[in-house]
Structure 1
Amino acid sequence: MTDVPARRIALLGGGFSTDDDGLLDDWMLSHARGSRPRVCFVPTAAGDAPGYAEKFLDAFGARDCEPSVLSLFRRESGDAALRDHLLAQDVVYVGGGNTANLLAVWRVHGVDRLLREAYGRGTLLCGISAGANCWAEGSHTDSFGPLTHLPDGLGLLPGSVCPHYDSEPGRRDSYRAAVAGGALPAGWAVEDGVGALFTDGRLDEAVTRVPGARLFRVRAGQGGEPVERALECRRLAV
C-alpha cells in the first residue's frame, strides 16, 4: 500500500525579502522533505522583477538547498519542461505582489494545475503576502488599488487569508467586515513576523520572529459581527 504524503502549506509574514535574521525561512526549510531540498521561487505576483529573484538566490544560495527561479513573463521552456521542473521541487516559494494578476497568469500557463499536483505529491507550498493569499479559497488584497476581498484562489487551504494584519492601515477592519458580511469565508489573519504551517488543511504550528506578533482565526458571529481569536505562536530563537 502506497503511503499518501502529507500536504503542507506555510503562510509567511516575512522572509528573505523583508527580514535580516532569516528565521522564518529557516523555519520553513525545516519542514521541507529531504536533507538538501529543491526550492523554487515564483515571483509572478511582482511581474518576475529581476531584483526580487536575485535577492532570493542570494538568500537561498547561502543555505543548504538547491534554489531556482520560475519566470513566466520571460518563459523559455515548454509545457513538459515546466511540469518536470515544478514537480521535482520540494518547496515552491511564492513571492508577494498582486494576487489577482498572479492567479490570472498562472492559469494561462497551467501553473495552477501543476501546483495542485505538486501539493498532492507532498511539495511544501509557501509564500508571503500574495504568495500566502493564493493558496486559500479567498483573500484580502489591494490587487485593485483599495483594500477589498477577492473570492478567488487555488482553494488548497480551506477558508480565507489576510496578510499584513497589523502593519497596513485598514487591513484589520476591512478583513473583519468581509468575513462578518459573508464576502469571504472564515480564515486566517497573519501579522508580520508570523509563520503558520498547515497539514491537510489543519493548522499544525504557528511561530513568530517578532515578540507579540500573532496569528488570528477570524469568523462571522451569530449576530453578523466578526469574531477574532488570537492563537499562541512559538517564538523563534535567533
Structure 2
Amino acid sequence: MGKIVAIGGGELRFHETLPIDRYIVEFSNIENPKLLFIPTASNDAQGYIDTVKAVYGEQLGCTVDTLCLVDQDISDEAIKDKILSSNIIYVGGGDTVKMMEIWRTKKVDQYLKEAYAHNIVLSGLSAGSICWFLEGHSNSSIETNRDGWWDREQVIGLGLIPANHCPHYNEVGHETFDDKMLDKEVPGIALENNVAIVIDGDMYKIIKSNIESKAYVLKKCNGKMNKIELNNRDFKPLSDIL
C-alpha cells in the first residue's frame, strides 16, 4: 500500500529530472493518467503551472489539472474530489512552511493521506519531497530560516515516510542537516538534485536523472552520525534503512 516518488531537486523546465518524471508516469500503471499539480509552495506561480503542463501533459501524456489554494476559494469537498480522482499527485517546490500551514487549514494533508491509502502516486520535488516525510530540512523563507538552511520553525510533514529529509543535499548549507540529525532519533534521507527515492509499500529503490547524483541515509549510532550512500536500482525492504 502506498506509492511515493520524492525528488531531491532539479529544474523541471530544463528537463533535468525528465527520466524521473517519466518514471512517475509509468509508476501509475495507467495509460494517459490524470495528474494533479499542487503548486502551493510557489504561491501558485503560473509559470510553474505552465511548465508542469508542458512536461507532464504535452511530453508525457498526462491529463494535467491544478489545485490552486493560495488565493482561490475552493471548498473542502472540491479539494478532496480533485485529489482522490487523480492517478498522480505532483507537489512543486518553494516555501515548505507556508505550504504545510495552508494545507492543514484546508485539510489537504488529510486528503493526501487518503490518496496514499488508495495507491495514488504521490510525488514532488524539494518542498514537494519534504512533505511526505516526518520533518524536513528547508530554506523556506527569511521569516522561518534566519539561521541558515534548517528552518527555525521546523517543517512537519505528513509522516508517510518515517524519516527526516533533506533535499538539495549537494547545495551549500546542507551540512547543517548532518548536525541537526545528531539530535534526532529517527533516520534521515538526504537527496541531491536529480535523484529520487521511490517507495512502493514496504519497499524502496533509488532512481536518477543524473548518474553523478547521490542519495544517503543518515543514522545516529553511539553519538556519531553514520552516512551510507544508497545505490540500489532494484527494490529492497524499506526496513533495511529505516
Structure 1 residues 8-46: Cα deviation after superposition (integer angstroms, max 9, x where no partner): 111113362453572110011111132121111101011
Query: Residue 157 of structure 1 corresponds to which residue in structure 2?
Result: 161
CA contact (8 A) 1:215 1:233 kept: no
Structure 1 residues 159-217: Cα deviation after superposition (integer angstroms, max 9, x where no partner): 11110001x2120x2111111122x73121001111210123x4422111212211101
Structure 2: 5+ residue stretches without partners: 234-242
Residue among 165, 177, 180 paired with 1:178: 180
Q: Which amino acid is the alignment partner of residue 155 of structure 1? A: G
How far off is 1:65 after superposition? 1.5
With over 3 angstroms needed to count, the CA separation of the structure-2 counterparts of 1:153 and 1:118, relative to structure 1, is same
Tell me whether 1:12 sits opposite 2:7 in the alignment: yes
Tell me whether 1:142 sits opposite 2:139 in the alignment: yes
Query: Residue 89 of structure 1 corresponds to which residue in structure 2?
Result: 86
User: 129-138 vs 62-71, which deviates more?
Assistant: 62-71
Please give the alpha-carbon distance, in whole angstroms, between the structure 2 residues aligned to 1:16 and 1:213: 16
CA contact (8 A) 1:221 1:227 kept: yes
Report the TM-score, using the length of structure 2 for normalisation: 0.87
Report the TM-score, using the length of structure 1 for normalisation: 0.88
Structure 1 residues 32-77: Cα deviation after superposition (integer angstroms, max 9, x where no partner): 1321211111010111111111111111221221111110023243
Structure 1: 5+ residue stretches without partners: 1-5
Please give the alpha-carbon distance, in whole angstroms, between the structure 2 residues aligned to 1:54 and 1:158: 33
How far off is 1:88 after superposition? 0.4
Query: Residue 3 of structure 1 corresponds to which residue in structure 2?
Result: none
Please give the alpha-carbon distance, in whole angstroms, between the structure 2 residues aligned to 1:34 and 1:19: 22
With over 3 angstroms needed to count, the CA separation of the structure-2 counterparts of 1:110 and 1:214, relative to structure 1, is same
Query: Residue 172 of structure 2 corresponds to which residue in structure 1?
Result: 169
Please give the alpha-carbon distance, in whole angstroms, between the structure 2 residues aligned to 1:8 and 1:48: 25
Query: Residue 31 of structure 1 corresponds to which residue in structure 2?
Result: 27
User: 139-148 vs 105-114, which deviates more?
Assistant: 139-148
Identical pairs, percent: 28
Please give the alpha-carbon distance, in whole angstroms, between the structure 1 residues aligned to 2:165 and 2:17: 25
Q: Which amino acid is the alignment partner of residue 181 of structure 1? A: D
User: 145-154 vs 31-40, which deviates more?
Assistant: 145-154
Number of residues of Structure 1 aligned to a counterpart in Structure 2: 225
CA contact (8 A) 1:15 1:23 kept: no
- Counterpart mapping for 1:1-238 below 5 A: 6-13=1-8, 14=10, 16-20=12-16, 22-62=18-58, 63-143=60-140, 144-145=144-145, 146-148=148-150, 150=154, 152-166=156-170, 168-171=171-174, 173-182=175-184, 185-200=186-201, 202-222=202-222, 224-232=223-231, 234=233
Q: Any idea what SS the aligned residue of 2:12 has?
A: coil
Please give the alpha-carbon distance, in whole angstroms, between the structure 1 residues aligned to 2:189 and 2:14: 21
Q: Which amino acid is the alignment partner of residue 3 of structure 2? A: R
Q: Which runs of 4+ in 1 moved over 4 A?
A: none
Q: Which amino acid is the alignment partner of residue 224 of structure 2? A: E
CA contact (8 A) 1:16 1:22 kept: yes
With over 3 angstroms needed to count, the CA separation of the structure-2 counterparts of 1:47 and 1:20, relative to structure 1, is same
User: 8-17 vs 210-219, which deviates more?
Assistant: 8-17
